[in-house]
Amino acid sequence: MRRFRPREKEDEIRINHRIRVREVRLIGADGSQLGIMETRKALEMAQNLGLDLCEVSPKAKPPVCKILDYGKFKYEQKKKKSAAKKKQAVTTLKEVQFRPRTDTHDIDYKVRNILRFLEEGNKVKVSIRFRGREMAHTEIGHDLVKKIVDRVGEAGIMDQRAKMESRVLSFTLSPNPKAKKAKKPATPTPPAKPEEGAQPAGSA
């Protein structure tokens, strides 16, 4: 019965004896270009240094290999992938709801939630819901929008002006990248030195 070799994953890095080509273009452990040589000789050089021969550019002709510590290299690659995933993380849209006549205490509480969501990197949809006769006084909702935006301050950027749909006045806030930068504390001003010959206050 014929046995089939398992196919290697496209993104799997070949090292040492798994590099099956006859010759490679070699980069030394210090980054120096060592030119094209037989794979057998390149592997011998890596082993003499107690390191690995790693194929870093398999599609090149001939493939490019580098002498390095594969364990350390793999760890660095994992860190880079993890950092890239964090950058590509999907932003969640949170929603905070108000009523036109929400009291000051509740406004403060809800604004704190908005600030927390923005600090976590989320977008926030702010909705003001009207009922019955409240629709006759939509200006109250627009006044509330101004209060909310003023209290959020530089932490959020208003994506577009608030708009009314059915009985809901809404707008969206996005995190302001500039607001995340920590503000340096002000350097205290040193006390002024008394002039030479000046008498302290209260002295005779």
Give the torsion sign (CA, 10, 14, 18, 24): positive
Instruction: Write down the pLDDT at residue 201.
Output: 47
168 vs 177 pLDDT, higher one: 168
| Peptide linkage before 62 cis (omega within 30 of 0) | yes
Instruction: Write down the pLDDT at residue 87.
Output: 67
Instruction: Write down the pLDDT at residue 57.
Output: 93
Element (H, E) at 151: helix 138-152
pLDDT digits (tens, 9 = 90+) for 46-89: 999 999 999 999 999 999 999 999 999 999 989 988 877 776 66
pLDDT digits (tens, 9 = 90+) for 24-43: 999 999 999 999 999 999 99
Instruction: Write down the pLDDT at residue 111.
Output: 97
Q: State the average pLDDT for the chain.
A: 85
204 vs 116 pLDDT, higher one: 116
Q: What percentage of the chain exceeds 70 in pLDDT?
A: 80
Structural domains in the chain, CATH included, are 16-84 (3.10.20.80), 93-180 (3.30.110.10)
102-111, 122-131, 133-142, 190-199: least confident range:
190-199
Pairing of strands 23-27, 64-68: parallel
Q: Quickly state the pLDDT bin for 178 (edges 50, 70, 90).
A: confident
Distances (CA, A) of 203 to 191, 197, 200: 20, 13, 6
* Residue 32 structure tokens: 């120096």
Distances (CA, A) of 105 to 1, 74, 95, 101, 110: 78, 53, 19, 12, 9
Whether residue 90 is predicted with pLDDT greater than 70 in this model: the reply is: no
